[in-house]
């Protein structure tokens, strides 16, 4: 049996009916990784021994009459910027090449408590800084739909692992689109919750005010099931919020007829591939056919979202990366004095993109430039939030492309950082505003998946999930799989 065709509900029902054991499922996934990951390179670490041991424990519990937990026996992967106790966590950087964390991220604790089985840690752009997964310190991940193309970034390893059937689901992180854009490129579902909905404790911080953790899955139901598990306040994360999450499975059964969806005209301008635009428009037309009221809306300031992000984010990066100095974490170089040690360690073990963002962030925070750049970017960010608030008085959700293009060829944008940064043009506004957003597939162009996204009001994940579920039922795209064999 090809277990990658089964969603969470299918797996749980199969366990109860004794159609297969947890160990059988885990061994199948580990075999799949061994068979395909030399092509895709989704994983940096595979925890085969631990996964099989955990599977045997769960099988014993099942035979003893234990009640199934929400993710009982579900094989998962974790993006390698999320801390896992006793499992190597590198952030895809040479500076953390052999780092074994002494504690567990809250989201990982919740997954494990819900019965999930960790298969390993997935590749990403170094410290989550990138949009293609070409910036990993341990080599790139490849798109399972076409190995000559990127999987997107920075959660490219997670997206590729789910798309290629190497895990049932994965956890990624999204700072400017790093869950949604690779989900779009790899033809899967990627959900970024409201900022504060999910604890960031144990996430290696890139940009603390913009980082989100969320699920990457094959179906909308699975994304909702994972969110139900990982959501909630955390005493270890002061930015997490105690805002109740409704029973998503019940909410998603409600009719979407009469819901109002806005289409921001700014998301369909210059730079959007015509075929991508056509696919997204067709997806929106499906919502119309299901009784959704679709209307055009305007968000004039979102055109400044990318430059705003690339002032705000590097400023926080320059502060967050200061801890990687060769003294407290990871590898270090020998030098005659402390300053030389800093220079040599960071110079030798950090990649070019990480250095670029540290330098840019230090610059915009320096004397004489803070007022001109950082303070102005904060004001623009506040205006973007206000415009979203105003628009959501008229509509219940927004529909837009996830990325202006499908996946691009390896190396095609490496000489132009600005072209790479523009990959975030449609995803970063939701991060600046802290809004929930979900990307889901809506077709193929030249054999590569196209993604579109739904953006919701704060704390209203149930609405975008309901719309996404209705679309998925009308257009069951998840039946498509890349051919790696």
DSSP string, 311-354: HHHHHHHHHHGGG-SSSSSS-----SSHHHHHHHHHHHHS-HHH
How far does the chain reach from its first CA to its final CA, in angstroms?
15
Per-residue pLDDT tens over the stretch 149-195: 999 999 999 999 999 999 999 999 999 999 999 999 999 999 999 99
Closest listed residue to residue 461, CA positions, set 433, 435, 431, 441:
435
> Which tokens in the block code for residue 251?
């909410």
pLDDT of residue 336: 86
Given 3-state DSSP classes, what are the helix, strand and coil percentages for the chain, each rounded to the nearest 5?
Answer: 45, 15, 40
The pLDDT value recorded for residue 327 is: 84
- At residue 40's C-alpha, the angle toward residues 400 and 81, to 5°, is 70
How confident is the model over 67-72, as a mean pLDDT? Answer: 97
Structure tokens at 18: 């004794």
**Residue 234 has what pLDDT?**
98
Whole-angstrom distance, CA of residue 294 vs CA of residue 120: 42
Phi–psi pair at 120, nearest 5 degrees: 160, -175
**3-class state of residue 389 by DSSP:** helix
Q: What are phi and psi of 248, to 5 degrees?
A: -65, -35
Is residue 147 predicted with pLDDT exceeding 80? yes
Pairing, β 117-122 against β 75-79:
parallel
CA distances from 189 to 82, 184, 216, 441 (A): 19, 8, 6, 7
Q: Known catalytic residues?
A: 79, 154, 178
Percentage, residues of the chain above pLDDT 90: 90
Strands of the sheet containing 260-264, edge to edge, are 43-46, 117-122, 75-79, 169-174, 212-217, 189-192, 437-445, 448-456, 397-401, 260-264, 293-297
Whether residue 397 contacts residue 468, with contact meaning beta carbons closer than 8 Å, is answered with no
What is the three-class DSSP state of 237? strand
Q: Spell out the alpha helix ranges (H) of 399-460.
A: 417-421, 428-433
The residue with tokens 């699920």 is: 215
When pLDDT is cut at 50, 70 and 90, the band that residue 439 belongs to is very high
Residue 196 has pLDDT above 80, yes or no: yes
HSE-up of residue 137 (Cα within 13 Å, Cβ side) = 22
Residue 334's pLDDT is what?
86
Kind and range of the H or E run holding 217:
strand 212-217
Q: Of 437, 318, 423, 433, nearest to 381 (Cα)?
A: 433
- Answer yes or no: is pLDDT of 485 > 80: no
**3-class SS of residue 75:** strand
Reduced to 3 states (helix: H, G, I; strand: E, B; else coil), residue 213 is strand
- The mean per-residue pLDDT over the stretch 405-415 comes to 92
When pLDDT is cut at 50, 70 and 90, the band that residue 414 belongs to is confident
Report pLDDT for 421. Answer: 85
DSSP 373: I
Angle between helices 305-320 and 352-365 (to 10 degrees): 100
Provide mean pLDDT across the span 262-281.
Answer: 96
Calpha distance 99→396 (Å, rounded):
44
Q: How much is the pLDDT for 420?
A: 86
> What is the C-alpha to C-alpha distance for residues 356 and 256, in angstroms, rounded to an integer?
45
Instruction: List, for residues 114-139, the tens digit of each pLDDT value.
Output: 999 999 999 999 999 999 999 999 99
- Say how far apart CA 154 and CA 212 lie, in whole Å: 12
User: Which H or E element spans position 380?
Assistant: helix 375-391
Residue 401: CB partners within 8 Å, gap ≥ 6? Answer: 267, 268, 272, 276, 277, 280, 426, 451, 452, 453
For 308-356, the pLDDT digits (tens) are 999 999 999 999 999 998 888 888 888 888 888 888 899 898 999 999 9
Give residue 466's pLDDT: 98
Computed over every residue of the chain, the mean pLDDT equals 96
Cα 441 from Cα 452, distance rounded (Å) = 6
- Distance in angstroms (rounded) separating the CA atoms of residues 72 and 437: 27
pTM for the full predicted model: 0.97
Give pLDDT tens digits for 83-98. Answer: 999 999 999 999 999 9
pLDDT, tens digit (0-9, with 9 covering 90-100), for 200-238: 999 999 999 999 999 999 999 999 999 999 999 999 999
Burial of 294 from C-beta contacts in 10 A (0-12 / 13-18 / 19+): middle
Give the domains, in start order, of the chain with CATH numbers: 3-266+277-298+389-479 (3.90.1300.10)
């Amino acid at each position: 049996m090809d277990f990658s065709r089964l969603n969470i509900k299918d797996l749980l029902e199969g366990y109860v009916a004794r159609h297969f054991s947890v160990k059988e499922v885990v061994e199948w996934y580990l075999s799949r990784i061994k068979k395909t990951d030399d092509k895709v390179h989704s994983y940096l670490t595979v925890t085969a021994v631990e996964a099989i041991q955990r599977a045997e424990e769960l099988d014993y519990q099942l035979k003893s009459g234990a009640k199934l937990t929400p993710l009982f026996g579900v094989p998962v992967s974790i993006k390698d910027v999320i801390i896992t106790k006793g499992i190597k966590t590198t952030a895809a950087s040479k500076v953390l090449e052999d780092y074994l964390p002494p504690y567990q991220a809250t989201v990982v604790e919740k997954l494990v408590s819900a019965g999930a089985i960790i298969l390993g840690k997935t590749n990403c752009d170094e410290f989550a800084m990138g949009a293609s997964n070409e910036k990993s310190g341990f080599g790139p991940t490849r798109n399972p739909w076409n190995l000559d193309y990127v999987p997107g970034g920075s959660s490219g390893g997670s997206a590729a692992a789910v798309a290629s059937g190497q895990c049932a689901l994965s956890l990624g992180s999204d700072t400017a689109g790093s869950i949604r854009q690779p989900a779009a490129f790899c033809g899967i579902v990627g959900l970024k919750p409201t900022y504060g909905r999910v604890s960031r404790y144990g996430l290696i911080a890139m940009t603390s005010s913009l980082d989100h953790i969320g699920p990457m899955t094959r179906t909308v139901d699975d994304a909702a099931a994972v969110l139900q598990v990982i959501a909630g306040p955390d005493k270890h994360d002061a930015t997490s919020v105690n805002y109740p999450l409704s029973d998503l499975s019940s909410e998603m059964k409600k009719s979407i007829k009469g819901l109002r969806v806005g289409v921001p005209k700014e998301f369909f301008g210059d730079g959007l591939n015509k075929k991508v635009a056509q696919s997204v428009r067709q997806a929106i037309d499906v919502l119309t056919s299901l009784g959704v009221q679709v209307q055009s809306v305007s968000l004039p300031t979102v055109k400044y979202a990318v430059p705003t992000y690339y002032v705000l984010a590097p400023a926080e990066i320059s502060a967050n990366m200061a801890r990687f100095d060769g003294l407290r974490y990871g590898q270090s170089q020998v030098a005659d004095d402390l300053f030389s040690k800093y220079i040599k360690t960071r110079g030798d073990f950090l990649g070019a993109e990480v250095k670029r963002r540290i330098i840019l962030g230090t610059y915009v925070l320096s004397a004489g430039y803070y007022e001109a750049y950082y303070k102005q970017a904060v004001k623009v960010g506040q205006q973007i939030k206000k415009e979203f608030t105003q628009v959501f008085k008229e509509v219940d959700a927004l529909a837009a492309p996830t990325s202006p293009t499908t996946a691009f060829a390896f190396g095609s944008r490496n000489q132009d950082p600005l072209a790479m940064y523009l990959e975030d043009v449609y995803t970063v506004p939701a991060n600046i505003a802290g809004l929930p957003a979900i990307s889901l597939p809506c077709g193929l162009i030249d054999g590569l998946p196209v993604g579109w996204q739904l953006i919701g009001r704060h704390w209203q994940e149930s609405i975008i999930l309901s719309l996404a579920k209705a679309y998925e039922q009308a257009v069951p795209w998840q039946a498509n799989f890349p051919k790696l064999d």
